[in-house]
Amino acid sequence: MATLLRKIGLIRLHNRDTEDPKHHHNHRGGGGGQQSASLRGKGGAKSGGHKQQQQQQQQQQHPGGAGDASPGPGKGKGKRAAEPAPRDKPPQPAAGAAGAAGAGGPRERAAGARAGPGPAAAAAAAAAAATAGGSLVPAARQQHCTQVRSRRLMKELQDIARLSDRFISVELVDESLFDWNVKLHQVDKDSVLWQDMKETNTEFILLNLTFPDNFPFSPPFMRVLSPRLENGYVLDGGAICMELLTPRGWSSAYTVEAVMRQFAASLVKGQGRICRKAGKSKKSFSRKEAEATFKSLVKTHEKYGWVTPPVSDG
């Protein structure tokens, strides 16, 4: 009886193993079932690890393919997980895909376009600032020269106004401190020029002085306006041949009064006369002609030198 029952049990166990593939290799006994189960556990763990590794590789290769089907046993599950999405809401892109799209999206490109001119604008601003900074030096220097020139000329005017002998007088041209009309009232009374002034009722010799920006470190340009003179180192256009009026002969220590006294002496020494020739005496001097003549004589004297008169001539 026991043998029959054992046979029946073996038959049932054989049928169960045949019907259930999971127990196909466990028909030999309980020990064999436990060993098979442990092997299946190890194989399942290896299979699961291999599946996870494949899914990670696929996600790295296809960042936006979280809902895509993957080869192998997980393919059916991927499809089933992706099918309900259209009914509920559109599938959201993965974080990696969103990051990649955001990096090159229109908003970021627009931001890059806005940020692009930033360095160029900064460089342009720096160049403009450098240019402005470079232009400040000449501007400050010019302002300083103007202040020095103004202070010097104001002092000159005050000194001339205090002269007791009324040797010269000054009138500003168009109220400009840098453009003077100077009247020479006196020359040597023993000279022929003085006699000409008395005979022609000429009260003064009128001269024009214009002061450059760097005065008193450069000489003024001086020319005769009236009357029309001959000789006395007065040349065409009213230009005056005097070394101290050239950059080479000028000194910042010279004052307008000292220059005018030197000019009065040179007129007498050079036998200057008032022109009385018909048609020529009424012809006025020209500034343009005077400037051209003065430049020419400066070049000539720089080439051949200035003639120094003997000490006996004064």
Q: Which residues are catalytic?
A: 241
The Cα–Cα gap between 181 and 155 comes to 17
The Cα–Cα gap between 137 and 108 comes to 44
Cα distances (Å, whole numbers) of residue 240 to 134, 158, 160, 250, 254: 40, 26, 22, 14, 17
Which residue type occupies 189? K
- Do 169 and 159 form a contact (C-beta atoms < 8 A)? no
DSSP codes, 76-107: HHHHHHHTTHHHHSPPPPPHHHHHHHHHTSHH
Residue found under tokens 């160049």:
127
> Residue 274: what are its φ and ψ, rounded to 5°?
-85, 130
- 170 - beta bridge partners? 182
The Cα–Cα gap between 192 and 238 comes to 19
- Do 238 and 169 form a contact (C-beta atoms < 8 A)? no
SS3 label, residue 146: helix
- 229 - beta bridge partners? 274
- 179 - beta bridge partners? 210
Task: List the structure tokens of 301.
Answer: 């004297």
